[in-house]
Amino acid sequence: MNCPHCAATSTRERTKKTKLGYATFFCPNCQHIFNERTGTPFNSLEFPTDVVLLAVLWRLRYKLSLCDVAEMFLARGFTFTHETVREWEARFAPLITKQLRAKRRGQAGTSWYVDETYLKAHGKWCYVYRAIGHDGNLVDSMLSEKRNMAAAKRFFQQAVAVVGFVPDQVTTDGHTSYPRAIHETMGHDVLHRTNKYLHNRLEQDHRGIKQRYYPMRGFGTVEAAARFCCAFDELRNYLRPRRTTGEVVSLLKQRQVFLQRLGALQTLL
């Protein structure tokens, strides 16, 4: 293992391990002693890395409150409070979002469907701008406190930066801010369509965040809502077994894909 302090390769593994069972190493170059988690965001944690990641993933993936996650791990012998789960989510959800966004760069389709849905944060209604491709794969999502021209332009700029290219056509509802926002951020060559029937696929896709949001009864802050919504959409898209419209995936294949991608995500992080 390379030294996280001086990047030397001539490190030696020690027989002594940490309290959590992680191997320790000695670097003869800079005389530092370190372990497997030194230099990573997980170094200062009092619990194993896989436990922390699993708690955050369960929180994002399933309809669980903070207390539900803490109770489920209590039955497994790990004792921590719901506030600990909240801190882990605030710390590692952006890391999950960053890694998954980088992993799917350039993979979105050239036909986007854009719409916004609403949720409550700190007692106020906010808007979640979301875009998916023709096959239902995520393009991007963004929380905004307002639904106006500035928010629409900011969303399109972010979406183009995330996927790395401009689409051929964009389908939206009849909101007046979309035509100008599309042309000013992505150019006049992008075809803009407004059709409520073609737009139904995104309206149905909103059910993902809606069904996950209702049991939570809102968010305490706008920052927490923005962080959760982005991480939720990224994880949901990453674990989605179907990549094309109409693709048939058996239950056995869905479970295999889920386990493979979950293991790959844990390795990536």
189-234 pLDDT, tens digit each: 999 988 777 778 888 888 888 888 777 767 888 999 999 999 999 9
Spatial neighbors of 192 by CB under 8 A, at least 6 apart, are 169, 170, 172, 178, 179, 182, 183
Cβ proximity of 171 and 111 under 8 Å: yes
| Phi, then psi, of 148 in degrees rounded to 5 | -150, -170
Nearest to 178 by CA among 159, 162, 163: 159
* CATH code assigned to 111-237: 3.30.420.10
Q: Is the pLDDT of residue 143 over 90?
A: yes
The CA–CA distances, whole Å, from 19 to 16, 150, 152, 266, 269 equal 10, 51, 50, 21, 22
Domain with CATH 3.30.420.10 in the chain: 111-237
Q: Is the pLDDT of residue 155 over 90?
A: yes
What is the arithmetic mean of pLDDT over 142-170? Answer: 92
Spatial neighbors of 21 by CB under 8 A, at least 6 apart, are 48
**Residue 24: what pLDDT?**
82
Q: Is the pLDDT of residue 140 over 90?
A: yes
**Residue 69: what pLDDT?**
92
**Residue 212: what pLDDT?**
84
Residue 93 binned pLDDT confidence (cut-offs 50, 70, 90): very high
- Say what percent of the chain tops pLDDT 90: 40
Pairing of strands 191-194, 169-172: parallel
Q: What is the DSSP secondary structure assignment for residue 219, as one 8-state letter?
A: B
Nearest to 85 by CA among 100, 105, 66: 66
